[in-house]
Amino acid sequence: MLRSWTVGTVHYNLRIDAMVWNNRTVVAWTAWACLACGFAMVGTPAQAQVKLEEGEQVKVYATGDWRDGVVLGQQGSKYGVQYEFAGTAQQGMFDRKAIRIMCETEALDFARTWASESGTFKVDAALKAIQGDKVVLIKIDMEEITVPLASLSKKDVAYVGKLKKFREAAIAQGQLPAETPPLPEVESFAGGFGDTAMVMFGEGKVAPLGTPPSYLSTFTQSGTGFKLTRERQELVAIIPVGGPEQLVLASVREDNFFNNGVMFPSQLYWASLKQKKIIGTVFVTSEDYVLDYDPRSKTMISYNKGERQGFNDGGVMTAWRLSPGDSKAEPLVRWNASLGWRLWSYYAKVINDRVILAKTDRETYTAWDLVEKKVLYTIKARSFFDAQVVLTKDRQHLIIPEDGFVTVIKADTGELAFQLKVPSSVSGVNVNDAGTKIAALTRDRLYVWELDGTDPRPISYEAPLIGNPFSARLDWLDDDHILVEGFLSQILFRLSLELPIWSYEMDVWQKSLNDDPLRSMVLNGHFFYTAQPDIFGGTLAVGAVKLPGPSVQEVTSKIEKEALFAVKPGTSVAIGNLKVSDPTQVRQWLEQKIQSNGWVLADQAEIVIHCEMGQHPPRTETYTSMMGRGTNTSVTYSPYYSNIEIRQDKRVLWQSGTSTGAPMVVNGDDIQGQVTRMQVPQLQFYETVELPARIIDSKYGNGFGRSVFGLRGIEVASTAPVGRADSPEEAQRLANEEANKAQEQRKNAGQSQGFNSGAFGSGE
């Protein structure tokens, strides 16, 4: 097919039907699209640029994208280029800045003539990379050569220096993507003993766990705000690193969907809480989620979720070497590892410079050996609601909350350390900083084990006001206070009172920002969190506040617990509708318990007991043969449940329940039959359940005061929360107080664009 096109009085004939064009899409030349759309650039002087030849294959920026084209001719400073759009050949006149010859598509600037000072060496090429005292050039024929800067002319050296400064400034301003280190090939690690998920069972020897490393003890209450390099960067994690600078590593990734093919890399910010400023940044692979960093082993882990393949993703994990405060991370090894398409939050931890642990599916955790490049172990937690596991701060042990157990394993080997029995399902666990106490939260109780004692039995605390049957975050503040995640707040529970004493809140946006355990945590008595003055403003604040915070001790030091009970001996109690298999029998048991507790049975009362039995939806469990490794049998069953609640109007004052399940170990061949036979209604639960004689009014579930976390650190919002107001006038006063506080916070947030030094005041 012969096309004819005219520029001025010059006539060109060009045969294009047999031509094959290079259509590579790479970061370097797509970044030029940004420059062509208005970013300033240093540019090669016109007289030094390599001229375009008639018939030369090029990339041309036309109709909003870079397209394959062929040079047809030149008129003045413009070139005629033919390209294809919507299946039709198009022609147009373009400035040189909108055209790239093929060697320029992976380069930093236009091709030019490079020469030595003496002129004995000359080459037409484009600059691809600056590597210390050398440059990498791409010749017109696409051959790459590396040339020492010292061998080039002064003009070339000055050009490289000018371009380097321009690129550094453009990268710092978020106008160009930074270069990231070349990555090793992706490997597939071999399966090992952990190729089949293991369910841990046994007892082991209870012993104290380790204490946090000393570099994490340097934090004081402080914080800093900073502007992100690019507004579309989204926070992935904040990782306390500590040390003399009180470092916090904030990892972000770029949402590149709207960047017209330009892939901006993920970025790390070294925030010094001591200096209240960012002291360095690191760029890593585009689309990577940096999830954890261990300064002791200088190991960092990132995850790229890849492309979805059916119900799995094509995920890849990368281990990096990074020293605290450094600006460059070195990729060490990459391997195929899917972290599960069903997970709402990614979880990966560095155990040491050899072992990486990650959550690979619901209730499933896998550890890889980076040296032997194999699966080290895989653990299947027995937790119906998939409660969160906890890696101890010394990275030595993994604490696993399960249905009826707290299991502790050695994180670097997967071996059982010890196991603690719990009467019901565990929703949250954690260990104190001394490593001597483990706490486990259930639906209505908090259990605490003394790991350095001789009594294996836990101390049981009544905790219906903070209890949770699902999954909860739990953090020790000190030996008498535990911080528990509530629905919209953090609740501080005092063990010595068996009461929640205070609540901590954020506004809705800041709450959602910190919901992920990757972005908020308790360390050394400080709560680490993030805040933003503007959702879309490209700014972020990171800080740590000392808990319990101002006014808490003063307000809660004289609590009279007796005045807080909604149910106690002498209280009138009614029995409501009993949705159970034998209402007559259950009513008889309840009447006996009411009498035993000293309550007064009434036909009508404000306090009512409700009971319900039923069956959960089907679930599946997989058993692994202990005789033949790798032989799996899956069973399906529907657990029966029995629940009891004590309500005051619509408020639940106390609740308890039980459920059937699958046994930990089965013997014989008929596994499905054995599990099925265990699924029977639990009527006897109502005979054995213990009803506490005294029940705290649930209106005190959020404690006796409220503080808020925000850009100003921690501030007291109220020292008399709603629920303690004894009159309409007092209730109105409290409502007005809270409204004024909210208005003041909004005003402060609106004036916080320069919050770099003022964020997170002492508050003490």
Is the CB of residue 45 less than 8 Å from the CB of residue 158?
A: no
User: Is the separation of the CB atoms in 366 and 375 below 8 Å?
Assistant: yes
Predicted local confidence at residue 341, as pLDDT: 62
Indicate if 551 and 581 belong to the same structural domain: no
Assign 3-class secondary structure to 290-318: EEEEECCCCEEEEEECCCEECCEECCEEE
Is the Cβ–Cβ distance between 109 and 100 less than 8 Å?
A: no
Question: Both tokens of residue 349?
Answer: 């931890």
* 725 falls within a domain: no
Given 668, 693, 718, the domain boundary residue is: 693
Q: What local confidence, expressed as pLDDT, does residue 163 receive?
A: 87
Between vectors from CA 239 to CA 236 and to CA 240, what angle results, nearest 5°? 155
Residue 12 has pLDDT above 80, yes or no: no
Evaluate whether residue 706 is within a structural domain. no
pLDDT at 384: 86
Where does the pLDDT of residue 295 fall: very low under 50, low under 70, confident under 90, or very high at 90 and above? Answer: very high
Residues 552 and 581 in one domain: no
Confidence of residue 749 (pLDDT cuts 50, 70, 90): very low
Count other Cβ atoms within 10 Å, centred on residue 484. Answer: 25
Q: What is the DSSP letter of 340?
A: -
Q: Are residues 400 and 298 part of one domain? A: yes
Paired residues of 634 in beta bridges? 622
Mean pLDDT of 384-391: 92
Whole domain around residue 297: which residue ranges?
193-556
**Domain annotation covers residue 686:** yes
Instruction: Please say if the pLDDT value at position 430 is more than 50.
Output: yes
Q: What is the three-class DSSP state of 67?
A: strand
pLDDT at 30: 44
d(CA 294, CA 411): 14
Going by pLDDT thresholds of 50, 70 and 90, the confidence category of residue 756 is very low
pTM score, two decimals?
Answer: 0.75
Judge whether 506 and 519 are in contact, CB under 8 Å.
Answer: no
Most confident stretch, 54-63, 474-483, 666-675? 474-483
Question: Per mean pLDDT, which range of 367-376, 450-459, 504-513, 734-743 is the poorest?
Answer: 734-743
Q: Where is the domain boundary, 556, 581, 597?
A: 556
524 has pLDDT over 50: yes
Beta-strand (E) ranges in 77-160? 78-85, 88-95, 99-101, 112-115, 122-131, 134-139, 144-148
In this structure, are 98 and 242 located in the same domain? Answer: no
Answer yes or no: do 250 and 135 share one domain: no
Number of domains in the chain: 3
Residue 746, in any domain of the structure: no
Which residue type sits at 94?
A: F
Task: Report the CATH number at residue 112.
Answer: 2.30.30.700
Q: Percentage of the chain with pLDDT > 70? A: 85
The residue among 586 and 661 whose pLDDT is bigger is: 586
State the chain's mean pLDDT as an integer.
84
Q: Is the dihedral of CA 157, 163, 169, 172 positive or negative?
A: negative
267 part of a folded domain: yes
List, for residues 89-124, the tens digit of each pLDDT value: 999 999 988 899 988 888 888 899 999 988 888 999
Nearest to 74 by CA among 102, 60, 54: 54
Roughly how many angstroms between the first and final C-alpha of the chain, as a whole number?
81
Residue 745 resides in a domain: no
Residues 94 and 159 in one domain: yes
Query: Is residue 456 domain-shared with residue 580, that is, in the same domain?
Result: no
Tokens of 288: 């990577």
465-505: per-residue pLDDT in tens? 888 888 899 999 999 999 998 777 899 999 999 999 999 99
- Asked if residue 435 and residue 335 are part of one domain, the reply reads yes
Amino acid identity, position 320: W
Q: Are residues 289 and 154 in the same domain?
A: no
Structure tokens at 572: 């009138």
CATH code, 430: 2.130.10.10
Q: What is the pLDDT averaged over residues 149-164? A: 92
Task: Give the pLDDT score at 3.
Answer: 32
Residue 469 has a pLDDT of: 83
Average pLDDT over residues 700-704: 84
Q: Rounded distance, CA 303 to CA 285, Å?
A: 10
Collapsing DSSP to helix, strand or coil, 436 comes out as coil
Query: Is 105 within a domain?
Result: yes
Would you say residue 527 has pLDDT above 80? Answer: yes
Question: Is 751 a domain residue?
Answer: no
Q: Say if residue 485 is in the same domain as residue 634.
A: no
pLDDT in tens, 537-569: 789 999 999 999 999 999 898 888 888 889 999
Q: Which of 693, 710, 725 is the last residue of a domain?
A: 693
Do 63 and 117 share a structural domain? yes
Answer yes or no: do 552 and 618 share one domain. no
Mean pLDDT of 17-33: 35
* Block residue for tokens 């107080």: 737
Q: Are 714 and 764 in contact (CB under 8 A)?
A: no
Mean per-residue pLDDT for 34-61? 66
Tens digits of residue pLDDT in 181-198: 889 999 999 875 445 567
Residues in the chain: 764
